[in-house]
């Protein structure tokens, strides 16, 4: 399980997260919700070791991961699908996928089951990443993360700015990764309907703090109105 205890995170001297306590059990699906600028991406970056400074405790399966560098956290089983996808535009689809395999504990290559989740990638293996549509790039980013053989996958707004027909496919794949493959999911979303359908638990952020959390059934319309309406 992934656990954050009293986590604060800083950009320089500016504190972007304060006193975060969160836990996601093995095989669970946690959605992290909140308006723009509340600290959702900062939370992902803190888990990955990409912040200037993080205090408090971060553990994976009981082991403290705070001292680990980002690549070591990846090897320990934490994969990341960043907001904006982070595809290398001048690398082919195959090369982008190969980068994902480097983070795997045991060298597995580009596994067939991952390509089968996203048949379009199989057809476009030799195309440049930059020539894919936004939705296809998002699929590539998810596939790349899966090739690292993660225990936990962190997804930062994977449906943001994507055509509705592909959104549905992406939601379906993320849900199945959790339900059928048992991969633990931490999903950052502003898409509440998807979070409700897919998650076991939720956390709502406001100004760098967790203001509500619990079983997904406890995410009431009042809470959404209070913490997500713009
Ligand atoms: N590189 C940075 N340097 C300084 N402050 C930053 C930096 N990145 C983000 N912040 C600040 O940290 C706070 C949290 O930002 P963060 O990107 O985590 O929000 P978010 O919830 O992911 O927002 P969004 O929904 O727009 O993606 C904001 O106040 C933001 O201005
Ligand atoms: Mg963000």
Domain boundaries, the chain: 2-228
Residue 187 C-alpha to ligand 2 middle, in angstroms? 11
**E strand map for 139-226:** 152-156, 184-189, 201-206, 209-215
pLDDT tens-place string over residues 167-212: 999 999 999 999 999 999 999 999 999 999 999 999 999 999 999 9
Sequence-distant (≥ 6) Cβ neighbours of residue 39 within 8 angstroms: 9, 16, 17, 205, 207, 208
Q: Which residue has its alpha carbon closest to ligand 1 atom 29?
A: 37
Q: What pLDDT, on a 0 to 100 scale, did the predictor assign at position 99?
A: 93
Round to whole Å and give the CA distance between 23 and 58: 10
Q: What pLDDT, on a 0 to 100 scale, did the predictor assign at position 104?
A: 87
Q: Give the ligand 1 atom nearest the CA of 42.
A: 18
Q: What pLDDT, on a 0 to 100 scale, did the predictor assign at position 107?
A: 73
**What pTM does this model have?**
0.96
The CATH code of domain 2-228 reads 3.40.50.300
Ligand nearest to the CA of 82: 2
Q: Which residue has its alpha carbon closest to ligand 1 atom 3?
A: 11
Round to whole Å and give the CA distance between 80 and 98: 15
Give the rounded distance of the alpha carbon of 138 from its chain centre. 12
Rg of the chain's alpha carbons, rounded to an integer? Answer: 17
Q: Which of 225, 218, 217, 206 is nearest to 32 (CA)?
A: 206
- pLDDT band of residue 64 (cuts 50, 70, 90) is very high
Q: Is 46's C-beta closer than 6 angstroms to any atom of ligand 1?
A: no
Q: Which residue has its alpha carbon closest to ligand 1 atom 5?
A: 11
pLDDT tens-place string over residues 81-130: 999 999 999 999 999 999 999 988 887 789 999 999 999 999 999 999 99
Q: Which residue has its alpha carbon closest to ligand 1 atom 28?
A: 37
Round to whole Å and give the CA distance between 200 and 89: 35
């Amino acid at each position: 399980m992934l656990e954050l205890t009293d986590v604060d995170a800083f950009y320089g001297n500016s504190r972007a997260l304060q006193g975060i306590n969160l836990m996601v059990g093995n095989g669970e699906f946690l959605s992290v919700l909140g308006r723009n600028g509340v600290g959702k991406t900062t939370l992902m970056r803190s888990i990955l070791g990409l912040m200037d400074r993080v205090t408090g405790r971060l553990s994976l399966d009981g082991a403290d991961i705070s001292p680990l560098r980002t690549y070591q956290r990846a090897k320990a089983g934490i994969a990341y699908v960043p907001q904006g996808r982070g595809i290398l535009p001048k690398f082919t689809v195959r090369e982008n996928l190969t980068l994902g395999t480097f983070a795997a504990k045991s060298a597995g290559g580009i596994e067939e089951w991952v390509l089968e989740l996203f048949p379009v990638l199989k057809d476009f293996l030799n195309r440049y990443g930059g020539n894919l549509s936004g939705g296809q790039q998002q699929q590539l980013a998810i596939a790349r993360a899966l090739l690292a053989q993660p225990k936990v996958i962190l997804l930062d707004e994977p449906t943001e700015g994507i055509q509705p027909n592909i959104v549905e496919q992406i939601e379906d794949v993320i849900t199945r990764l959790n339900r059928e493959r048992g991969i633990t999911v931490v999903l950052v979303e502003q898409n509440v309907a998807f979070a409700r359908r897919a998650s076991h638990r939720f956390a709502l952020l406001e100004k760098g703090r967790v203001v509500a959390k619990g079983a997904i059934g406890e995410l009431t319309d009042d809470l959404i109105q209070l913490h997500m309406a713009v």
